[in-house]
Chain A
Amino acid sequence: MKTITRLKDMDKIENSLAGDTGVCIVGCGTCATMCRTGGQEQVAAMKRSLQALGKVVTGTLVVPTACDELSPQAVRDHKHIFEDADAVLAMTCAFGVQTLASTLMRPVIPALDTLFLGKEQAVGSYSEICMQCGECVLEDTAGICPVTACHKGLLNGPCGGTNKGKCEIGNDTDCAWAMIYNRLQAMGRLDRMRKYQPPKNYQAVPKPGKVQIPLQGSEAQ
């Protein structure tokens, strides 16, 4: 599982950097590298694009994992490249943008849009796996998440838009409930689908998400 990101339109990035001449570019060696949106190659390409726009690229850096606590250290180790930068362009997920923003007293501009947590099914083809709803129903749905995989997030079975096993929204999207039905039937567990699923608790995860989980086992002592 990784954070799936997509490069913003260059017009948007240019607009966000209006008035800034010196720009430092930061990529991420983990998810954004695996998505080919913020690795060494993409950072180098961005450098050329910005230079073509008349920007002065003060330096580039691909930190190992932009979101974790090592990023502030990596930034400190390379502080010379940030010194003349009017802005930092982050080719990382939004978590990386926020980590960099809390570390640097500089505007941090996102070059990527963060889409979802998912996996790469084929080269360049990503699928969302879990929406982190805080109220898992996978025990009744044969391990396929209807909250994520059904366009409407339906809990009690397919809508009338199911079409030869595909979803009415198109894009060759599978109907989650057709898949769930087939698996439950194969396992002799259709009774799970017959069960009424009451309305979901949309406050199961507080917003903003913040939670204290009591320590367990040896750590609790």
Chain B
Amino acid sequence: MSTAFKQALENGKFVVTSEIGPPKGVNLDPMKHHIELLKDRVDALNVTDNQSSVMRFPSLGGTLNVKELGAEPILQMTCRDRNRLALQADLLFAYSRGVRNVLCLTGDAVPVGDHKQAKAVFDLESVQLLHTVRHLETGKDLGGNDLDGPVEFCAGAIVTPEADPLEPQLLKFEKKIQAGAEFFQTQAIYDLNNFRAFMDFARQFEVKILAGVVLLVSARMARYMNANVPGIFVPDELIAELEAAPKGEALKTGIRIAGRMIRELREEKICDGVHIMAIGKEEVVPDILAAAGM
């Protein structure tokens, strides 16, 4: 079975996905507005799963909203909050409701989130979750029991090209491929030379790579990420560019930077597509694409 997203990956076009962050609460209108706004501009919408260990409306619920509004969903699944029974059960449910793309993540640590005393599960982790998806496809569950109706998914994972140290990260990237990852979205990248070096390594494998593009909204945000977010490196030139923006125009500059990066990635065929993360500013994703000439 081939999903619309998988077809987009395979037909050689430059794939664009964007992230949808479910709300804290049941007012789904802003999320649905973002889905409506983006659904005809991107190949798939990727719904986050209690991102940054902050409790929210579930990714599974969000992917159903994406589906109902006529777009192609990617279900993000982390291993932090569910054990192997719950993860498998949710995969069965997702499949039954037409959600056929899954992004397998380990998940952020509990202490970075907003329920700091919660018990972290991590019964499985990203590599084992990818294995689990492929195992369910054989018609068996992890307990070795037959499934009455197997599943089939386009499964992906994440990689951090700016991880420090990088070598263990690349080794795990290979393990994810062996476990059945068909596509990767990367942590945010800003330094295209570093990213080219990563792609030189990644190109030896039969997987599709979507570069992570996180919208910069200010020089302060860029500095904050450099200091506090593992695996993100914003070069000084970009920070200077944001700083040089006239008052109130930093967002515009951020959109221009993101658009320029996407254009370069696409025109130079550096990778197979991009995954745009506009964290809270989803309404400007069409502007980013316009700036990229798409």
Interfacial residues, chain A to chain B (CB-CB below 8 A)? 151-165, 168-169, 177-178, 180-181, 185, 190, 193-194, 196-200, 202
Contact = CB atoms under 8 A, between A and B. Distances in A.
B139 interface: no
B70 interface: no
Contacts of A180: 168
A117 B210 CA distance: 44
A65 B62 CA distance: 56
A180 B107 CA distance: 21
Nearest to A164: B164
Contacts of B167: 181, 185
- Interface-central residue, A155, A159, A164, by most chain B CB under 10 Å: A159
A198 B84 CA distance: 12
A160 B168 contact: no
- Interface-central residue, B159, B164, B230, by most chain A CB under 10 Å: B230
Interface in B94-117: 106-109, 111-112
B175 A151 contact: no
Nearest to B173: A157
Contact of A169 (B106, B112, B124, B165): B112
Interface string B166-197: 01110110110011000000010000000000
B128 A199 contact: yes
Nearest to B178: A196
B199 to A, nearest CB: 18
B168 A178 contact: yes
B179 A196 contact: yes
B112 A157 contact: no
A197 B172 CA distance: 12
B287 interface: no
- Interface-central residue, A153, A156, A165, A180, by most chain B CB under 10 Å: A156
Contacts of B165: 162, 165, 178, 181
B123 A199 contact: yes
Nearest to A181: B168
A95 B175 CA distance: 42
A140 B107 CA distance: 24
B158 interface: yes
A193 B171 CA distance: 8
A152 B120 contact: yes
A156 B125 contact: yes
Nearest to A160: B160
Given A157-B168, A158-B172, A164-B164, A169 B111 contact: yes
B96 to A, nearest CB: 24
Contacts of B111: 169
